[in-house]
Structure 1
Amino acid sequence: MAMALLDWINDAAGSSVKGDGVTLRSPRASDYEAWAAQRQASQAYLRPWEPTWPEDDLTRAAFKRRLSIYARETDAGNAWPFFIFADSDQALVGAITLSNVRRGVAEAGTLGYWIGQTRAGQGHATAAVRALVGHAFDELKLHRVEAACVPANLASRRVLEKSGFVLEGQARAYLKINGAWADHLLFGIVNDAAGRGG
């Protein structure tokens, strides 16, 4: 009974952000099965663009650890993780996180996201990025949002460009992706009318 109540409290907590055809919602314990299924079905598709997955990554225990980390980061004001749901069928289609939030003279954060293979190319990533950038600027009062992608990830680059991000440069051996250090294209968007595409 207490566990069911705790799950209900966890499920009722959190925030959401509305986008064009998508809803971003804080991850919940009850999202495990949909999340694990989407990640499992998309593993080969996502592998070239992501850090190496831990052996137990798709287990319920690992998911609970993930939720605990998310809660700590959110409470500290360092990150805002969301799952992406398609408004058309309420399905979990991916995830997006604003992390590495720096206040003070920077007022900036870093954006990362993924979309499951079966839902890729349908505009969900672009809608989610636009919604979270708007939230970062309007609600969190950040000045700048940054993102990076491997040069070969043309789909991710298109998402960022369609969302108003500007290519600012390239960093050598920027992040360890799929077990190897990879160069990344660096993008940024600034909280002003010109930087947000209008």
Structure 2
Amino acid sequence: MLDVPFFRRPPPALKGETVFLRAPVMADHAAWARLREESRNFLVPWEPSWAPDELSRRAYRHRLRRYRMEHVNGTGASFFLFDTQTEALLGGITMSNIRRGVAQSASIGYWMGERHAGRGLMLAALQLLIPYAFDGLRLHRLEAACIPDNGRSVGLLEKAGFQREGLLKSYLRINGSWRDHYLYALIAEERHVPAVKTRG
């Protein structure tokens, strides 16, 4: 049970043996911009169109401001993903559109730097985030949408225990085009992937 309102506490650091999650800060800009730039061709097919100033400090500052506002409003929680041993930035993962009342649900999105992909690190991140969502925030349902031909994302969600519920036609505008998405969901009572072992 949450002992204080969500918005009165900063998003916690979630620590595992291989990765840890923490809220982005301004000091992360250089590493974030470098990783995103070198991964541009890898990421662009699966993301909304990048703005001309996508990687600038100004745009990053606006991004942080939006993250903080979502956290204050209790509608989102954003994390960067780091290697536990080297503390290198690996990618990012967010919970957005957190809905309370009768829904108690949220949507998950994520990205990974190209040179870190395929190593199981985002699965480890989900194994940290899922217990926080269900046990920490007391959510009941997590949703994620992915483009059908994004095999990496489909495989990740299914390994994490998400179930495909259907096809969302022309759901999101990705890289300039409206794209269909699979809808995946994980219900608190149905999760079967054990949480990753955490440290301190």
TM-score, normalized by length of structure 2?
Answer: 0.90
Deviation at 1:28, TM superposition (A): 0.5
Deviation at 1:102, TM superposition (A): 0.3
After the TM superposition, which residues 19-168 of structure 1 pair with which residues of structure 2 at under 5 Å, given as runs?
Answer: 19-168=16-165
Structure 1 stretches of 4+ moved >6 Å: none
Rounded to whole Å, the distance in 2 between the matches of 1:138 and 1:56 is 38
1:15 and 1:25 in contact (8 A); partners too: yes
3-state SS in 1 of match to 2:192: coil
After the TM superposition, which residues 158-197 of structure 1 pair with which residues of structure 2 at under 5 Å, given as runs?
Answer: 158-192=155-189, 194-197=190-193
3-state SS in 2 of match to 1:58: coil
TM-score, normalized by length of structure 1?
Answer: 0.90
RCO greater where, 1 or 2, for CA within 8 Å and sep 6 or more?
2
Rounded to whole Å, the distance in 1 between the matches of 2:79 and 2:193 is 24
3-state SS in 1 of match to 2:182: strand
Rounded to whole Å, the distance in 1 between the matches of 2:126 and 2:147 is 17
Rounded to whole Å, the distance in 2 between the matches of 1:98 and 1:14 is 11
Rounded to whole Å, the distance in 2 between the matches of 1:184 and 1:19 is 30
Aligned residues: 185
- Aligned CA RMSD, in angstroms, stands at 1.2
Q: Which runs of 5+ in 2 are unaligned?
A: 1-9, 195-200
CA deviation string 1:1-57 (max 9, x = no partner): xxxxxxxxxxxx652112341100000010000000000000000011000011101
Deviation at 1:134, TM superposition (A): 1.2
Going from structure 1 to structure 2, the CA distance change for 1:165 and 1:113 (only over 3 Å counts) comes to same
2:87 is matched by which residue type in structure 1?
Answer: Q
1:189 and 1:196 in contact (8 A); partners too: no
